[in-house]
Amino acid sequence: MVNKALVFRHVLFWLIFISYELAFLHFTVGWRATLVHFIIYYSLNIGLFYFNAFIILDFAFFKTPKPYLISSALILLELIGYLAVKFTLDFLLSDNANPHSNDLKHTELYVMTNIWRAIYFIGLSIAYWSMLYLIRFKHRNHLIETAQLKTLAKHLELENKYMSVENAYLQNQISPHLLFNTLNFIYTTVRSLSENAGEGVTRLSDLMRYSLVSADDSRTVLLTEEVRQLENLVELCRMRFGDEFYLQFKKKGKLAGIRIIPLILITLVENMMKHGDLGEKRYPARITLEAKGNGLLFETKNRKRNTSLYPKGGLGLKNIEKRLNNYYHEQYILLTRDVEDLYTVTLTLTDL
């Protein structure tokens, strides 16, 4: 798109420049050419100005390895071409008003005058191009400095966030330590009164410790350790509900050596226990874990509870799916099946 303001400034400059030169000629040597002559010759000189700035200098300095040498050679060729065009125009337009009309090719003064005129406009062109280059250079440096400052600001922002998170993490260490010390005290106190209660405290402590140290999606844990904590969760619920708790847990295949991201299976089972009906002996809840080659199949199946103390917002499954997607990408399938009074969740992991 043409910049109208820029075009206007250029036109205004040339009008002032030409007016100045014509006024100087008028008051010093008088008019010696027609208006047509002035239009032709000024068109040639202005063309030389822009050709030198936007063709010769741009090419030499932006597209060649030796700009100064190449620009000097091109300007010399440009000067020769200009003189050739100028001499041709003088020959074609020569008349009695031209004092050199009879000796255009033999007057040394005439040749030097034209060379000086060409150098004059080339010099103006070089000054103009240098000013543009300086403006471009300053603008580019401004953009680079702005980008660097933005990068630095983002870096400092990330660093501050990291420090805030680290400080929060260190401060929060007080809470887990206090919790585990309290659980140890409770275990010591109740073990002498009830072996069952002591075992419950031990399992809860073990499960919570695992949840805290494993809650990092950037690492994996052994499947056998996840299963051990899953069994802790099941036993805690069994201890809580006693004879009104019915759940079957079946494991198939070679589970040793397999690694998964932590707390996925535990969260699925916890979700089943929160919202499922595990108190019906005829319809026990079922957990199936099966290793197949380099893959894994995990499934929970339970009757739906008519009433629940917990809201059914589905956030647990959504969070699990986000974690699975972040780590496994296309190597997992998570399916839910909700029919009548039965609810099933199936997780398949591949290429473990």
Average pLDDT over residues 10-17: 91
Confidence of residue 97 (pLDDT cuts 50, 70, 90): very low
Q: Is residue 14 part of a domain?
A: no
Residues 129 and 255 occupy one common structural domain: no
DSSP one-letter string for 28-70: HT---S-HHHHHHHHHHHHHHHHHIIIIIIHHHHHH-S-HHHH
**Cα distances (Å, whole numbers) of residue 245 to 112, 201, 235, 249:** 112, 19, 10, 13
Q: Which CATH number characterizes residue 287's domain?
A: 3.30.565.10
Number of helices (H), then strands (E), belonging to the chain: the values are 10, 8
Q: Is residue 160 part of a domain?
A: no
Task: For residues 297 and 350, give the distance between their C-alpha atoms in angstroms, rounded to a whole number.
Answer: 9
Highest mean pLDDT pick, 109-113, 168-172, 190-194, 328-332: 328-332
pLDDT given for residue 31 in this prediction:
64
Q: Is residue 257 part of a domain?
A: yes
pLDDT given for residue 85 in this prediction:
93
Please give the model's pTM, rounded to 2 decimal places: 0.49
Confidence of residue 185 (pLDDT cuts 50, 70, 90): low
Task: For residues 284 and 301, give the distance between their C-alpha atoms in angstroms, rounded to a whole number.
Answer: 9
Q: Is residue 341 part of a domain?
A: yes
User: Which of 97-106, 220-229, 292-301 is the least confident region?
Assistant: 97-106
Give the percent of the chain with pLDDT over 70: 80
Residues 77 and 146 occupy one common structural domain: yes
Average pLDDT along the chain:
82
User: Which of 47-51, 147-151, 161-165 is the least confident region?
Assistant: 161-165
Q: Is residue 10 part of a domain?
A: no
Residue-range definition of the domain harbouring residue 327: 215-349
